[in-house]
Amino acid sequence: MSNNAEILRYIDSIARDKEIDKEGLIAAIELAMTQALSKKYGIDDLELKLDRESGLWQCNYEVSMEDQGRILAQTVKQAIISRVREAERDVIYSEFETKIGEIVSGTVQRFEGDTVIVNLGRNIEGILPRAEKVRSENYNIGERLRAMILEVKKVGPRVKVILTRAHRDLVRALFELEVPEINDGTIQIRRIEREPGYRTKLAVDSTDSKVDCVGACVGVRGNRIKSIIDELNGERIDIIRWNDDSQTLIQNALKPAEIAHIELDPAAKKALVIVNEDQQSLAIGRKGQNVRLASKLTGWDIDIMTRAELERTVQADDQAAKAVDPAAAAAAAAAAPVVAEVADETDKQPPDQDTGAAASGPAGS
């Protein structure tokens, strides 16, 4: 430690190589030296400073730094190492905290139970927990993996970067990368609902009337949507045109099914959707996915029925009312013309115009 200029060069080199704050490193060295000397000499009010220009130590007591032994040097060395690690952690944390919601690439390094550890470079590990994995996906050591940064947190001397492949915002981030109009704000993603590995519904809107929001997301010959579907291993993606009118939005959300009639109950936030029999399975979707995602996307509790099912339901309610209360039976009879009117409307309604688009991976609804 006798070479004062060498001390400053050493500190400067560490700060530059490790990309940490030089002043913070010097403060950590001063603190370590102060604690070590205070303990050695039994002095509580010892103050020690390192001159930033000359590298000389300044102390409020007569202490010769040249006389200090190897134990003191080792203590200071460990304090410096600890501070460097802490500073490196802070740098990594600050860097990745700004990337929350962004997609990063890495290599699958190992497995810890059901958790996948991903090497993100620079000895930084990303953690893909079981809850953030897609059930239908398999991961192999050494393969490249893209995931979204979900959370960054400090745990002791390390930084944990939590990744996700299952979050709906992963789809949002992929569209932002693939569709420049989304990234520059011309097209807005109004809402996303997703069942990871199976299906996603995406409602989009355009701030420019000249830009087709659905067409831009699909791309020429479907090149944009294909890239995203490939990244999601064939997950089906329905691109919906947003509309402030609830009936139109529900109709769009249930695409590719054709809707005959929609009856809304705003107070209960329920929607009765009438479809022809050949469209019912398409409207409901495999294991109810289509109607379930449409309900979440629109915010309405959607009930899919054919006209025959509606008539049977009304008849059953009518019979139940007669059995319980004659007065209720009269009310049910009064409601019968309304049902007939709904059925008549569906017969007269012209075919729906196409207001949305759907893109998919493997066939199937």
Q: Are residues 56 and 197 in the same domain?
A: no
The domain boundary residue, chosen from 121, 145, 164: 164
**How confident is the model over 88-99, as pLDDT tens digits?**
888 889 999 999
CATH assignment of the domain containing 250: 3.30.300.20
Q: Is residue 66 included in any domain, yes or no?
A: yes
Q: Are 186 and 207 contacting, i.e. CB atoms less than 8 angstroms apart?
A: yes
pLDDT beyond 50 at 17: yes
More confident residue, 16 or 188: 188
pLDDT attached to residue 164 = 98
C-alpha gyration radius of the chain: 33
Chain centre distance of CA 170: 5
Q: What is the pLDDT of residue 72?
A: 67
Clarify whether residues 291 and 185 are in a common domain. yes
The predicted pLDDT at position 81 comes to 85
pLDDT at 59 over 60: yes
User: Is the pLDDT reported for residue 217 higher than 90?
Assistant: yes
Same domain, 203 and 256: yes
pLDDT of residue 324: 63
From 97, 119, 137, give the residue that closes a domain: 97
Q: How many residues does the chain have?
A: 365
* pLDDT at position 235: 96
Question: 246 with 213, same domain?
Answer: yes
Q: Are residues 139 and 252 in the same domain?
A: no
Residue 134's CATH number: 2.40.50.140
Q: Lowest-pLDDT range, 59-73, 161-175, 281-295, 335-349?
A: 335-349
The total number of structural domains in the chain stands at 3
Mean of the pLDDT values across residues 187-212? 95
Task: Report the alpha-carbon distance of residue 44 to residue 51 in Å, rounded.
Answer: 22
Range of the domain at 18: 4-97
Q: Do 180 and 145 touch, CB atoms closer than 8 A?
A: no
Residue 124 identity (one-letter amino acid)? I
Same domain, 259 and 147: no
Q: Give the pairing of strands 57-59 and 48-50.
A: antiparallel
Contact call for residues 360 and 289 (beta carbons, < 8 A): no
Question: Region 216-239: what's the mean pLDDT?
Answer: 95
Q: Identify whether 256 is preceded by a cis peptide bond (ω within 30 of 0).
A: yes
Percent of the residues in the chain that have a pLDDT greater than 70, as a whole number: 86
Q: Is the pLDDT of residue 362 over 80?
A: no
pLDDT tops 80 at residue 75: no
- 195 and 303 in a single domain? The answer is yes
pLDDT in tens, 292-333: 999 999 999 999 999 888 888 878 877 777 676 655 555 555
Residues 187 and 63 in one domain: no
Residue among 36, 41, 31, 39 at smallest CA distance from 61? 41
Identify whether the C-beta of residue 165 lies closer than 8 Å to the C-beta of residue 200: no
Note whether residue 146 is domain-resident.
Answer: yes
Mean pLDDT of 66-83: 75
Q: Is residue 365 part of a domain?
A: no
Last residue of a domain, one of 147, 164, 181: 164
Average model confidence (pLDDT) across the chain? 86
Q: Give pLDDT, residue 33.
A: 83
Q: Do 180 and 132 fall into the same domain?
A: no
Task: Tell me what percent of the residues of the chain surpass a pLDDT of 90.
Answer: 55
- Tokens 């400073």 -> residue: 49
What pLDDT score was predicted for residue 29?
84
Does residue 198 sit in the same domain as residue 228?
Answer: yes
| Phi, psi dihedral angles at 171 (to 5 degrees) | -65, -40
- Report the range of poorest mean pLDDT among 80-94, 176-190, 288-302: 80-94
Q: What is the mean pLDDT of residues 270-275?
A: 95
Q: What is the pLDDT of residue 117?
A: 97
Residue-wise pLDDT tens digits, 112-128: 999 999 999 888 999 99
Are residues 201 and 193 in contact, defined by beta-carbon separation less than 8 angstroms?
A: yes
Integer angstrom CA distances of residue 15 from 1, 7, 147, 220: 18, 12, 31, 50
User: Is a pLDDT exceeding 80 seen at residue 71?
Assistant: no
Is residue 364 domain-resident? no
Together in a domain, 87 and 145: no
H/E/C letters for each residue in the chain?
CCCHHHHHHHHHHHHHHHCCCHHHHHHHHHHHHHHHHHHHHCCCCCCEEECCCCCCEEECCCCCHHHCCHHHHHHHHHHHHHHHHHHHHHHHHHHHHCCCCCEEEEEEEEEECCEEEEECCCCCEEEECHHHCCCCCCCCCCCEEEEEEEEEEEECCEEEEEEECCCHHHHHHHHHHHCHHHHCCCEEEEEEEEECCCEEEEEEEECCCCCCHHHHHHCHHHHHHHHHHHHCCCCEEEEEECCCCHHHHHHHHCCCCCCCEEEEECCCCEEEEECCHHHHHHHHCHHHHHHHHHHHHHCCEEEEECHHHHHHHHHHHHHHHHHHCHHHHHHHHHHHHHHHHHHHHHHHCCCCCCCCEEECCCCCC
The answer as to whether 35 is a domain residue is: yes
Overall average pLDDT of the 233-257 stretch? 95
Whichever domain contains 89, its CATH number is 3.30.1480.10
Sign of CA dihedral 199, 203, 206, 211: positive
Does residue 127 sit in the same domain as residue 177?
A: no
Q: Determine how many CB atoms are found less than 10 A away from the CB of residue 105.
A: 12
- Report if residue 52 sits inside a domain: yes
